Homo-oligomer: A and B are copies of this chain.
Amino acid sequence: MSKPVDSAVSAVRAYVQHHREAFLDDLAEWLRIPSVSAQPDHAGDVRRSADWLAARLKETGFPVAEIWDTPGAPAVFAEWPSDDAAAPTVLVYGHHDVQPAAREDGWDTDPFEPVIRGNRLHARGAADDKGQVFFHTLGVRAHLAATGRTAPAVHLKLLIEGEEESGSPHFRALVEEHAARLAADAVIVSDTGMWSETTPTVCTGMRGLTDCEIQLNGPDQDIHSGSFGGAVPNPATAAARLVAALHDEHARVAIPGFYDGIQELTPRERELFAELPFDEEQWLRTAKSHATHGEAGHTTLERIWARPTAEVNGIGGGYQGPGGKTIIPSSAMLKLSFRLVAGQDPGHIEKAVRTWVAQQLPAGIRHEITFGGATRPCLTPLDHPALQSLVRAMGRAFEQKILFTREGGSGPAADLQDVLAAPVLFLGISVPSDGWHAPNEKVELDLLLKGVETSAYLWADLAENWRHAG
């Protein structure tokens, strides 16, 4: 690294060291607020958490820090314009609500009384997501201190929602309502993780999702399998045959048009996945599964990150109680969900599924399909200048090569991507052992401070290397 970079690193690190204790004290104060969005009796705490954060962001220096109400829990919006009008605008996304937690779930200490043991801070929300939101506050101060600026090098916006742990029911509407104020050149999502403590990574995408329920009706009531068995169509059989026909012998989804427009993995992307120290035995233990199974020609990581899926989440029909019942059931039901990857459109998938289902069913089986919500896939192009800045910033903080991952799941980040028409990047420092949603959730203090550092380097690098298009 060249000399100027080194001095920037030293300056950032000195600042972070100096403010470490105050930063952790502040975070602990926030973690003491049990902002559990799923529990109505904590509604006041979720609001208190939003108020606390808005006040703290003002103290940090954000000239604008507002509470944005929704029909559910409030979000916090903050804005700190750059003094360089031509700088790009970056929107940081996170959430201030947390999963439920109680001592009796298996916590060693009160989940809402943060405690540092060794080099770990334990509390509900330590990693998911208060810790990862909060490192941006010290990050931007370190950025200013190290660069001698009075305003960030980029136009900085924050949107910290209060209902993520409840499925973000009002998030899309909130983003649409405030689209003008949220407008950004890039979105930085700080609500994900890295490969491991020793392998820092950047996530470059999440899968999309669409799901449906299929109701299949055969006889008008359950009928006797002795009197009628073998001579009329059985809706449970029809349901099963639909599921069986979902995949071909290569475990590829067999719905015509399902792969239309899909962005195939490039050789470079496959190489990058293969660089990760993946241990399939260990992964299987995490998956609590007893074998891998999936699309031929792809590794497990490719299957969960970069390939679309069709999964049965639920199936039911006929008699499910103890013993037997000799009936042909009147009806059966399927719940299917489809994970989507870049290039796939949920609307197109819905149409393809509807057409396919109608063609599969035998005469005498009537059906009804209801689609639930749809979330688009996100994918940050590897050559996007903002991603390159992010990788450089992390590389400085971690002093290691940064590898690339993706997320198999789907999240509200896609709403930001869609409404704001901006690429989404993921800056997360959490690791799998942090125990999201589990007892004794923790954040690694060393990684938390690397997050602070990354945030500090990122804004300067972005401003220097990625000029606003407009």
A residues engaging B (CB < 8 A)? 207, 209, 211, 213, 218-221, 223-234, 236-237, 239-247, 284, 287-295, 300, 303-304, 307-309, 311-320, 323-329, 332-333, 335, 337, 339, 362-366, 372, 407-410
Contacts and interface: CB of A to CB of B under 8 A. Distances in A.
Give 3 closest A-B pairs by Cβ, nearest first: A291-B364, A226-B409, A244-B244
A337 B314 contact: no
A292 B324 contact: no
Contacts of A372: 323-324
B246 A244 contact: no
A172 B363 CA distance: 41
Contacts of A364: 289-293
A229 to B, nearest CB: 5
B317 A314 contact: yes
A246 B237 contact: yes
A240 to B, nearest CB: 3
Contact of A303 (B230, B291, B325): B230
B288 A219 contact: yes
14 contacts: A209-B326, A225-B311, A228-B289, A229-B408, A230-B303, A230-B307, A231-B293, A231-B294, A231-B300, A236-B314, A237-B246, A239-B315, A313-B326, A324-B372
Contacts of A292: 231-232, 364
A364 B285 CA distance: 12
B288 A339 contact: no
Nearest to A323: B372
**Which of the listed residues A287, A363, A365 has the most CB atoms from chain B within 10 Å of its own CB?**
A287
